[in-house]
Copies of this chain bind each other. A is one copy, B any other.
Amino acid sequence: MEKENNTSTISVAMNGGDGINSYANNSSFQKVAVDGAKGMIREAIKEKLDIQQMFSSFPSKTICIADLGCSVGPNTFTAVQNIIDEIEHKYYSQGLSLQIPEFQVFFNDHVGNDFNKLLTSLPSERQYFAAAVPGSFHNRLFPKASLHFVHSSYSLQWLSKIPKEVEDVNSPAWNKGRISYGDSPEEVVEAFSNQYVKDVETFLWARAQEVVSGGLVALILPTYPMETLSEKSFPLPVDLLGTCLMEMAKKGLVSESKVDSFNVPGYAPSVKEFEKAIKSNGCFGVERLELLKTKVGLDAQTTSMHHRAVLEGLISKNFGAEITDELFALFADKLAEYSHFYNPENRIYADLFVLLKKK
């Protein structure tokens, strides 16, 4: 069922454990999005969750919730508890307190995720049955019509693979000397964009089968308000990380050709791009699509740590673990020098909240 062993699929696993560089201790940035979407998720459940409809075709006494791309916590536990609290509140407010169902929560991430850390961190007083589901959400992960609420925050910016042409020296989309599309020629941006659209399609194709009719899908993702591919932003922090790698290459500390062939498999679409991908799927109604009013005030050091928690696994795999201390120290220095890269006042990204309802 899960084809993640296919070598063409990239697994982006956040740093595990609970050390200084762990994702668990460096995900305050992603927490802002989870907190920012809290109210919208509550409204979604209050106004759009039709319990009668959900249980009409597959009667059950359990509500099944999945958090896709959950990483290791603690953000996933906050998000899940918010959903459960609001569903319970809905039952109470409808005078159905005696019919409150049991909850089963599926925490999903790549096989390489630190599930040991996730499972030992589960809240001890949780009122739900927990299960960990390994695998890429670009594939099927759950049985047909088995989920009632799907949540995914800061995960749908990850691609299932790097588009071939950006690693092809003979292609006009070859992304030489850079590790992201952010500050790259239009051909590179287009290649990333095309891959992104394909990935959203496979994501929605899988969810269309897994979610019951009437079930909800809440997505929070970074978006990029460009209208056309040729509209350049100023470069992203990850582009500055690419610059650091190139500096290290010039000093002979990493191979320049490795930098040329390395690309971070992430892409933040424009709202229009994302909307188009949803509509082409056709299995979901778009109930809400709105930018979050979130602002994150991270400093240079924290921004570097945040990137390290997310990207260290990929970087180590490609360049060797021995370079990461120096790389992220250099990155922190550069960020301090060029504060427009992370200053929230200049932030051109915005987090998008999307609520879908399965037809």
The dominant DSSP class at the A interface is loop
Quick one: which of B1, B115, B131, B143 contacts A116, CB cutoff 8 A? B115
How far does the Cβ of A240 sit from chain B's closest Cβ, in whole Å? 32
Are the C-beta atoms of B116 and A114 separated by less than 8 Å? Answer: yes
Residue in A62, A112, A127 with the greatest tally of chain B CB atoms within 10 Å: A62
Are the C-beta atoms of B112 and A62 separated by less than 8 Å? Answer: no
Supposing A60-B58, A111-B120 touch, asked if A134 and B143 sit within 8 A by C-beta, the answer is no
Contacts of A143 on B, CB cut-off 8 Å? Answer: 60-62, 102-104, 129
Q: Does A119 contact B (CB under 8 A)?
A: yes
CA distance A135 to B144 in the complex (A): 26
Q: Please give me the residue from chain B that is nearest to A135 by CB atom.
A: B130
Contacts of A311 on B, CB cut-off 8 Å? Answer: none
- Identify which of residues 106-163 in chain A touch chain B, using a CB-to-CB cut-off of 8 Å: 106, 111-112, 114-116, 119-120, 122, 124, 126-135, 140-146
Determine how many copies of this chain the complex contains.
2
How far does the Cβ of A115 sit from chain B's closest Cβ, in whole Å? 5
Q: Does A252 contact B (CB under 8 A)?
A: no
Contacts of A128 on B, CB cut-off 8 Å? Answer: 1
A residues contacting B by CB (< 8 A) are 1-2, 5, 58-62, 102-104, 106, 111-112, 114-116, 119-120, 122, 124, 126-135, 140-146
29 A-B interface contacts by CB (under 8 A): A1-B127, A1-B129, A2-B126, A2-B129, A5-B124, A58-B59, A58-B60, A60-B143, A61-B143, A62-B146, A102-B143, A104-B146, A106-B131, A111-B122, A114-B116, A115-B115, A115-B116, A116-B116, A119-B132, A120-B134, A122-B134, A129-B133, A129-B141, A130-B133, A130-B134, A130-B135, A131-B131, A131-B133, A132-B132
Given A5-B124, A130-B134, 6 more contacts at CB 8 Å?
Answer: A58-B59, A60-B143, A62-B143, A114-B116, A115-B116, A119-B132
